[in-house]
Amino acid sequence: MFILPDLPYDYNALEPYIDETTMRLHHNKHHQGYVDKLNTALDDDEELLNMPIEKLLANLDRIPDGNRQAVINNGGGHANHSFFWQIMHPAKANSGDIAKPSGILIDAIDETFGNFETFKNKFNEKALGVFGSGWAFLIKNKEGKLQLKKHSFQNSPLMRSCTPILGIDVWEHAYYLKYQNRRSDYIENWWNVVNWEKVSQIFAKTS
Ligand code: MN
């Protein structure tokens, strides 16, 4: 059985950038819904129910045809949200400046995109450019290179043997209560709560 992971912080911890009501609904209702529907789609198959989500999404050919799309949608939703909660944390008080990655991650970003500002602008463009519901990701691809990707719906980078390093949920459920149609304001504010220590660790582990 897949279970909803606890948030690594309180529901109000990302205020004022992401509001408490959005976080409660997003975690308790949306993410819980993906977990419940994933368990249903795996249809009492004990082996699949006990597989790590990364392995399940990398082995979709093991899923019966009639259930595969439900596993893509809800397994992807479970993996994407579990990742998303981890790569955020409360904004540092009085910092003003948006924190930045460190170590080998900043070196790889500089090498791939030129500098952090260029990377951030390109990431924002991807996130703004998602048509409808989806995500923008910084991923490490099979060749070990950093790339920016738009993903529709809950399609997970793990399905394509890519490792998510950073990602933003741009489904309206992630921001509409506070930001309404202003997705660009949500994206810009979200940078304040990116947990670069965690993101840098995730990248280092893949290297
Ligand atoms: Mn979401």
Q: What is the domain count for the chain? A: 1
Across residues 74-87, what is the average pLDDT?
Answer: 98
Would you say residue 151 lies in a domain?
yes
Q: Domain span at residue 32? A: 19-207
* DSSP H helical ranges for 95-154: 103-113, 116-129
Q: How far is the CA of 22 from the centre of ligand 1 (A)?
A: 10
Q: How far is the CA of 103 from the centre of ligand 1 (A)?
A: 29
Would you say residue 124 lies in a domain?
yes
Q: How confident is the model at residue 207 (pLDDT cuts 50, 70, 90)?
A: confident
Across residues 50-60, what is the average pLDDT?
Answer: 96
Would you say residue 137 lies in a domain?
yes
What is the per-residue pLDDT for 102? 86
Q: How far is the CA of 5 from the centre of ligand 1 (A)?
A: 14
Closest CA to 30 of 178, 173, 186: 173
Measured between its terminal Cα atoms, the distance across the chain in Å is: 30
pLDDT of 93 above 90 = no
Q: How far is the CA of 175 from the centre of ligand 1 (A)?
A: 9
What is the per-residue pLDDT for 100? 86
Q: What is the mean pLDDT of the chain?
A: 95
Would you say residue 139 lies in a domain?
yes
Q: Percent of the chain at pLDDT above 70?
A: 97
| Cα distances (angstroms) measured from residue 149 to each of 3, 135, 136 | 27, 8, 6
Q: 198 is written with which tokens?
A: 């965690």
Q: How far is the CA of 120 from the centre of ligand 1 (A)?
A: 21
Q: How far is the CA of 154 from the centre of ligand 1 (A)?
A: 8
Would you say residue 70 lies in a domain?
yes
Task: Give residue-wise pLDDT tens across range 157-182.
Answer: 999 999 999 999 999 999 999 999 99
CATH code of the domain covering residue 163:
3.55.40.20
Would you say residue 12 lies in a domain?
no
Does this model's pTM top 0.85?
Answer: yes
What is the per-residue pLDDT for 48? 96
Task: Give residue-wise pLDDT tens across range 94-131.
Answer: 555 667 898 899 999 999 999 999 999 999 999 999 99
| Cα distances (angstroms) measured from residue 59 to each of 43, 153, 158, 169, 204 | 16, 19, 10, 24, 25
Q: How far is the CA of 80 from the centre of ligand 1 (A)?
A: 8
Q: How far is the CA of 23 from the centre of ligand 1 (A)?
A: 10
Q: How far is the CA of 111 from the centre of ligand 1 (A)?
A: 31
What is the per-residue pLDDT for 99? 79
Would you say residue 119 lies in a domain?
yes
Would you say residue 14 lies in a domain?
no
| DSSP bridge pairs for 135 | 151, 169
